[in-house]
Structure 1
């Protein structure tokens, strides 16, 4: 973080079968490290699209690991 900048925040994306939730978290206070740094937030629709894709990848990974064991 450079002088004059605000502390970074993390955006936590969560989803269940019937709802999605976006939470903001103060990174400095949580001990979480920044994985991607954006100076402008993308539109809500892009967040939703990325969340859906991440959920699908997680499900595929979960089922693939379950079949291997």
Structure 2
């Protein structure tokens, strides 16, 4: 219930590797990790390349922000997802 710290990545990677080795059944996809935190630095998350290790960081909120702020965050998230899909498509074509 604190802000995201880079050391959280190592701890979650250990858990994911353990799950992958001992709990994953044949035919199952690799496990993913979700870190919920009160605050996060998007730059830190990007520099750690968490998406490549199956770890995602989400900031939780206890109250909805003003409608305008919420809409802007939603627009940015949609744009980012579209760009990532385009990049993935481009990478698979090459």
**Alignment TM-score, normalising by the size of structure 1:** 0.45
Higher relative contact order, structure no. (Cα contacts within 8 Å, ≥ 6 residues apart): 2
**Structure with more strand by fraction:** 1
**Alignment TM-score, normalising by the size of structure 2:** 0.34
